[in-house]
């Protein structure tokens, strides 16, 4: 392509309001323009990159036996009602009505549609296993669309679905996807960490997320260098930090009320009373779950993890109680809450409180707390759950080495669904023995635009994007210092023709701009190689050969006649 005739609108300045490096660079390098919150138009450079990522994904899906389908992204509500997700999914699902008033939804994933096809056309075990995929826009009314295309409200996803006769078959399909995803990422220049993830309330038994470490990420993962353990914070466990437990008394007197007129928070209490460090307090939180108030107890310094909470109770219908609701159930306000003697409502206690003695908790009377609480003795009604977020530096639950927390973005998710969809939607096949059995399914998602943005997050410098060669919009840019100079122009045009002939994606910067401007633009859009037929090199029959991102500072020259071979070698 000739730059002079291309639509490559680069900008000098950072766009207002953008924070993520990939967001800033995608706007500045002319890849995207914003249409609305979480909605982006992809300009030619971006569609080139996406096409290359899609091609890699298609190759790897084909390699595991995947077959490409293309389904509607506009779904009748019926199938969502059949699976139960119409009521289960929150406002993230875009819902609309057609002209006759029928409920519809925009695809956020497509389990229902794929299951409906399998139900009608996969009748026998002989047709199994099947792996079906599509590359299709997805729509989600994200609560906080941000960081450009990293979290959009419309994005492009490769979603695939596997259909097997049994769990063993599913395990194979799952492993195939695991391997295929790793190859996709490697080929796209990414090294995500596969982590155990929460399977959520969508059913299913096992789920692995591929998390790319990145500043703009919103997901925390836990890793252990000792044994390689890796899990989403929403699922991670650890040996909780024994601070304070070691000196728990062997026995303790009956709970004793004491006045705390000015101490409402964990910190205030810890400051005012030597015997009440945060690790010796019981934090009491009132949540409304499926419309009913429920108590959660945690050690004072720990945080409630809402995904763990949802997993523990099997519902996502949950929210913190409002002050008037709290007052109504416990007779006191937040700041003096506790569970001693509470019998009318369910009380869940985090595992980290098990066996603790000499604890401090609210007395359910404004301005008062209790001390000398023995958890087993004074809170016999609690149900034990794991609902706290683990903390950096705690011992790994496998090997005891200190764990680390990393900020990441999820770039893929593979999921054993089991019969979560085939049961309610009655997608069954006949076994060899002639018995009906529900299809055992998996679903697998990979975000195409998120891979593009994550690649920029991982590969950029002060000058702009440094594309991995495999997904760059162009292989090479030919940038004569002065296009008006006849010798340079001839050399550039000849190279342009030769390189295209050889099958490379070539950009010829034929603009009548100063070389500084041209080189800056080429660096910004991140083309891996720049070939400069400049006056000095040409005298010796050479061109300058510049590798994007090369910080060595050495000038390389390559004989004009060797450029094609040299480039072929470096792109290999
Ligand atoms: P997240 O936790 O980041 O919201 P998710 O768990 O909702 O993601 P999945 O439902 O597992 O995502 O979707 C599969 C893949 O689709 C993700 O791994 C990601 O690559 C991509 N994806 C999901 N949501 C978005 C989004 N809002 N914008 C861009 N890509 C997305
Ligand atoms: Mg996910």
388 neighbors 310 (Cβ within 8 angstroms): no
Pairing label, strands 506-508, 476-478: parallel
Answer for the pair 454, 471: CB distance below 8 angstroms, yes or no.
no
Give the H or E element holding residue 450.
Answer: helix 448-458
In tens, the pLDDT along 324-340 reads: 999 999 999 999 999 99
Domains of the chain: 3-236+405-456 (3.30.930.10), 245-385 (3.90.960.10), 476-571 (3.40.50.800)
DSSP state of 200: G
Confidence label for 558 from pLDDT (cuts 50, 70 and 90): very high
Tokens found for residue 260: 């705390």
**Mean of pLDDT values over 377-383:** 96
Q: What percent of the chain has pLDDT over 70?
A: 98
Residue 240: the pLDDT is 75
pLDDT tens, position by position, 32-81: 999 999 999 999 999 999 999 999 999 999 999 999 999 999 999 999 99
The pLDDT of residue 169: 98
Does pLDDT of 359 surpass 90?
Answer: yes
The string of pLDDT tens digits covering residues 438-454 is: 999 999 999 999 999 99
152 CB within 6 A, ligand 1 = yes
CA 412 to centroid of ligand 1, rounded, Å: 7
pLDDT exceeds 90 at position 135:
yes
What confidence score (pLDDT) does residue 104 get?
98
446 alpha carbon – ligand 1 mean position (Å): 8
What is the pLDDT at residue 90? 86
Rounded Cα distance, 421 and 442, in Å: 10
Any idea which residue has 């409630």 for tokens?
304
Rounded Cα distance, 56 and 565, in Å: 24
Spatial separation of the C-alpha atoms in residues 189 and 194, rounded to whole Å: 15
Mean per-residue pLDDT for 315-323? 92
* Res. 507 pLDDT band, cuts 50 70 90: very high
- Report the C-alpha gap between 346 and 336 in whole angstroms: 18
Q: Supply angle C-alpha 477, 481, 487, rounded to 5.
A: 100
Q: Is the confidence at residue 149, as pLDDT, over 70? A: yes
pLDDT, position 383: 97
pLDDT at 182: 97
DSSP 400: -
State yes or no: pLDDT of 129 exceeds 90: yes
Cis before residue 129, ω within 30 degrees of 0?
Answer: yes
pTM of the model: 0.89
pLDDT score, position 336: 95
pLDDT at position 200 is 62
Q: Tell me the per-residue pLDDT of 176-194, one tens digit each, with 9 for 90 and over.
A: 999 999 999 999 999 999 9
Residue with the smallest CA separation from ligand 1 atom 18 is 412
Confidence of residue 247 (pLDDT cuts 50, 70, 90): confident
- pLDDT of residue 479 exceeding 80: yes
When pLDDT is cut at 50, 70 and 90, the band that residue 241 belongs to is low
Q: Looking at residue 312, what DSSP letter applies? A: H
> Is 151's C-beta closer than 6 angstroms to any atom of ligand 1?
yes
Q: Alpha-carbon distance 173 to 168, whole Å?
A: 9
Q: Ligand 1 in contact with 146 (CB < 6 A)?
A: no
Give residue 196's pLDDT: 84
Query: DSSP assignment of 219-270, as one string?
Result: EEEEEETTT--EEETTT--EE---TTGGG--SS--S-EEEE-TT--SHHHHH
Indicate whether residue 447 lines ligand 1 (CB < 6 A).
yes
Position in ligand 1 atom list of the atom nearest CA 153: 27
pLDDT at 293: 96
For ligand 1, atom 13, name the residue with the nearest CA: 445
Q: pLDDT above 90 covers what percent of the chain? A: 91
- Between CA 427 and CA 440 the distance in angstroms is 9
- Residues, the chain: 572
User: Of 139-148, 178-187, 238-247, which has the strongest mean pLDDT?
Assistant: 178-187
Residue nearest to atom 23 of ligand 1 (CA): 447
In this predicted structure, the answer to whether residue 245 has a pLDDT above a threshold of 80 is: no
Relative orientation angle of helices 486-501 and 563-571, to the nearest 10 degrees? 50
Distance 169 CA to ligand 1 centre (A): 26
pLDDT of residue 382: 96
Residue 37 near residue 47, CB atoms below 8 Å? no
Distance of alpha carbon 463 from alpha carbon 484, whole angstroms = 27
Smallest CA-to-CA distance from 413 within 199, 139, 566, 165 is with: 199
Residue 201's pLDDT is what? Answer: 54
Residue 204: the pLDDT is 66
pLDDT in tens, 390-410: 999 999 999 999 999 999 999
- pLDDT at residue 197 greater than cutoff 90: no
Widest pairwise Cα distance in the chain: 97
Contacts of 200 (CB under 8 A, 6+ apart): 307, 310, 311, 316
Mean pLDDT calculated for residue range 343-348? 94
d(C-alpha 140, C-alpha 160), whole Å: 18
Query: Phi, psi (5° rounding) for residue 310?
Result: -60, -40
């Amino acid at each position: 392509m000739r730059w002079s005739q291309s639509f490559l609108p680069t900008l000098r300045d950072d766009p207002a309001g953008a924070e993520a490096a990939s967001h800033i660079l995608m706007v500045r390098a002319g890849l995207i323009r914003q249409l609305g919150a979480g909605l982006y138009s992809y300009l030619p450079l971006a569609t080139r990159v996406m096409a290359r990522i899609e091609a890699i994904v298609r190759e790897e899906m084909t390699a595991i036996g995947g077959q490409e389908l293309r389904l509607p992204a506009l779904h009748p509500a019926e199938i969502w009602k059949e699976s139960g997700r119409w009521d289960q999914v929150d406002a993230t699902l875009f819902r609309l009505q057609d002209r006759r008033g029928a409920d519809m939804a925009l695809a956020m994933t497509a389990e229902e549609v794929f299951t409906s096809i399998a139900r009608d056309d996969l009748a026998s075990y002989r047709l199994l296993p099947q792996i079906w995929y599509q590359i299709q826009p997805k729509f989600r009314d994200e609560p906080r669309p941000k960081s450009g295309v990293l979290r959009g409200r419309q994005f492009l996803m490769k979603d695939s679905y596997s259909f097997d006769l049994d769990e063993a078959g599913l395990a194979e399909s799952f492993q195939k996807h695991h391997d295929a995803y790793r190859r996709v990422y490697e080929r796209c220049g990414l090294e995500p960490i596969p982590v155990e993830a929460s399977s959520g309330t969508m059913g299913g038994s096992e789920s692995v997320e591929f998390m790319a470490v990145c500043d703009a990420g919103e997901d925390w993962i836990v890793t252990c260098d000792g044994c390689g353990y890796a899990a989403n914070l929403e699922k991670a466990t650890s040996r909780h930090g024994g601070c304070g437990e070691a000196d728990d008394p062997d026995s303790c007197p009956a709970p004793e009320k004491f006045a705390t007129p000015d101490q409402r928070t964990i910190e205030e209490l810890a400051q005012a009373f030597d015997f009440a460090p945060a690790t010796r307090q019981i934090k009491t939180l009132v949540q409304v779950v499926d419309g009913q108030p429920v108590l959660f107890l945690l050690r004072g310094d720990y945080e409630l993890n809402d995904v763990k909470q949802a997993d523990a109770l099997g519902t996502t219908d949950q929210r913190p109680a409002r002050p008037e609701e709290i007052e109504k159930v416990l007779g006191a306000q937040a700041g003096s809450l506790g569970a001693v003697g509470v019998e009318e409502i369910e009380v869940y206690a985090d595992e980290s409180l098990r066996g603790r003695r000499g604890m401090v908790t609210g007395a359910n009377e404004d301005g008062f707390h209790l001390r000398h609480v023995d958890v087993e003795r004074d809170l016999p009604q609690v149900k034990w759950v794991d609902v706290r977020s683990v903390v950096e530096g705690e011992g790994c639950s496998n090997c005891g080495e200190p764990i680390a927390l990393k900020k990441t973005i999820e770039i893929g998710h593979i999921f054993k669904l089991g019969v979560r969809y085939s049961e309610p939607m009655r997608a069954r096949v006949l076994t060899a023995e002639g018995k009906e059995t529900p299809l055992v399914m998996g679903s697998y998602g990979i975000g195409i635009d998120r891979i593009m943005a994550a690649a920029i997050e991982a590969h950029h410098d002060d000058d702009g994007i440094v594309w991995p060669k495999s997904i760059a919009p162009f292989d090479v840019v030919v940038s004569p210092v002065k296009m008006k100079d006849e010798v340079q122009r001839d050399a550039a045009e000849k190279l342009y023709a030769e390189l295209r002939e050889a099958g490379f994606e070539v950009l010829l910067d034929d603009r009548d701009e100063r070389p500084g401007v041209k080189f800056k633009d080429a660096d910004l859009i991140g083309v891996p190689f720049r070939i400069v037929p400049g006056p000095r090199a040409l005298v010796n029959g050479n061109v300058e050969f510049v590798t994007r991102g090369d910080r060595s500072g050495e000038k390389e020259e390559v004989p004009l006649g060797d450029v094609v071979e040299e480039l072929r070698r470096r792109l290999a």
